[in-house]
């Protein structure tokens, strides 16, 4: 019998420091490695995100992997992008997710297909991320997007994304407020590498009664950091960190772990939790939790 996991929402409501991590589903059907890794984190983290064809690369679906994590004892966060589904498919998937025990949904726009591995795919973008949040709020209130009454409402905690190191920050703060009004209860941020700048962002958004989890993306080497600076809007890895990674040579992943641990310590006083993204380094998640003293 599946054990009911502790819920991320309860942790946030109790004002505990929340810890979430992220997995990319496999490109295929072999989930053995993912589940073996996730099994070791049961009871150490409060939520587990599952991406939705991130970077427009085809992978196994977020929803079934969320259910598998739920069965392990995790509280999954289903990511839902606007790129691949119209409003009918989204509402159907969301009702199905509720039936399968999923209670968190992170609403995202989604990368355009041309950046992924099916460049000729037709994008949908029937709704934007804010409209999806409004759609989820409607389902929670017992009605579909057309106003029809549901035979059983959903009960999702709505999540959103934000980029605290955006320059200029003003437009991002305005979008933050729009997302709060659309029903967002928690935010998971883009990768943070400048804690002082993040602290200023948190001062600006504290009047809003929502929770913010700082994004911690583990850098594996200097090349990865330089790629992010060149191609990921709103991300700025300081040159000193890049130099540290390069100086580490074949131990660069170790240096990336230490940078992540330092960053967690630096942002912890300012936010409600952290969201750790260890792309191709999920085997280091347990170590990061231990060294940071957060799980």
pLDDT for residue 17: 97
Rounded Cα gap, residues 6 and 129, in angstroms: 27
3-state SS class at 82: coil
Determine, yes or no, domain membership for 44.
yes
Alpha-carbon separation of residue 59 from 63, 65, 277 (angstroms): 12, 11, 17
pLDDT for residue 250: 96
Q: Residue 45's domain spans which residues? A: 8-292
Nearest to 136 by CA among 171, 168, 99, 93: 93
- DSSP assignment, residue 33? H
Rounded to an integer, what is the distance from CA 13 to the centroid of its chain?
Answer: 19
3-state SS class at 109: coil
Determine, yes or no, domain membership for 34.
yes
Q: Is 279 exposed, middle or buried (0-12, 13-18, 19+ CB in 10 A)?
A: middle
Rounded Cα gap, residues 267 and 287, in angstroms: 18
Q: What is the mean pLDDT of each run of 10 residues along the chain (295 residues)?
A: 74 97 98 98 98 97 98 98 98 98 97 95 97 98 98 98 92 96 97 96 96 98 96 93 97 98 98 97 97 95
pLDDT for residue 167: 86
Q: What sections of the chain are H helices per DSSP?
A: 8-13, 32-39, 62-72, 87-99, 129-140, 170-181, 195-205, 222-231, 239-247, 252-267, 285-292
How many domains is the chain built from? 1
Determine, yes or no, domain membership for 189.
yes
The total number of residues shown for the chain amounts to 295
Determine, yes or no, domain membership for 198.
yes
What is the full DSSP assignment across 186-255? EEEEEE---HHHHHHHHHHHTTSS-EEEEEEEPP-SHHHHHHHHHHSTT----HHHHHHHHHTGGGHHHH
Rounded Cα gap, residues 133 and 188, in angstroms: 15
Determine, yes or no, domain membership for 2.
no
Q: For 49, phi and psi rounded to 5 degrees?
A: -75, 145
Determine, yes or no, domain membership for 1.
no
- DSSP assignment, residue 143? B
Q: How many CB atoms lie within 10 A of CB 100?
A: 14
Determine, yes or no, domain membership for 244.
yes
Which CATH number goes with the domain that contains 269? 3.20.20.220
pLDDT for residue 96: 98
Rounded Cα gap, residues 278 and 295, in angstroms: 16
Determine, yes or no, domain membership for 3.
no
């Amino acid at each position: 019998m599946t054990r009911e996991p502790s819920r991320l929402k309860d942790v946030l409501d109790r004002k505990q420091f929340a810890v979430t991590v992220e997995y990319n589903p496999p490109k295929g059907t072999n989930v053995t490695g993912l589940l073996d890794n996730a099994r070791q984190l049961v009871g150490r983290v409060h939520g587990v995100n599952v991406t939705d064809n991130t970077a427009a690369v085809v992978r196994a679906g977020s929803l079934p992997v969320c259910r598998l994590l739920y069965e392990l004892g995790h509280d999954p966060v289903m990511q839902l992008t606007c790129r691949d589904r119209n409003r009918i498919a989204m509402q159907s998937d969301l009702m199905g997710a509720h039936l399968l025990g999923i209670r968190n949904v992170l609403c995202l726009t989604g990368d355009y297909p041309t950046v992924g591995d099916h460049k000729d795919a037709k994008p949908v973008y029937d709704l934007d991320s804010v409209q999806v949040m409004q759609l989820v709020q409607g389902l929670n209130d017992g009605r579909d997007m057309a106003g029809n009454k549901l035979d059983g409402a959903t009960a999702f905690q709505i999540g959103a994304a934000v980029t605290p190191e955006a320059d200029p920050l003003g437009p991002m703060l305005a979008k933050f407020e729009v997302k709060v009004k659309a029903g967002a209860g928690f935010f998971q941020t883009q990768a943070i590498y400048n804690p002082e700048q993040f602290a200023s962002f948190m001062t600006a958004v504290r009047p809003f009664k929502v929770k913010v989890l700082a994004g911690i993306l583990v850098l594996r080497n200097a090349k990865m950091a330089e790629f992010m600076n060149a191609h990921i809007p709103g991300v700025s890895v300081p040159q000193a960190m890049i130099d540290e990674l390069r100086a580490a040579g074949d131990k660069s992943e170790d240096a990336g772990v230490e940078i992540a641990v330092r960053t967690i310590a630096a942002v912890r006083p300012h936010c409600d939790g952290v969201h750790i993204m260890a792309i191709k380094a999920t085997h280091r998640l347990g170590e990061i939790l231990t060294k940071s003293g957060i799980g």
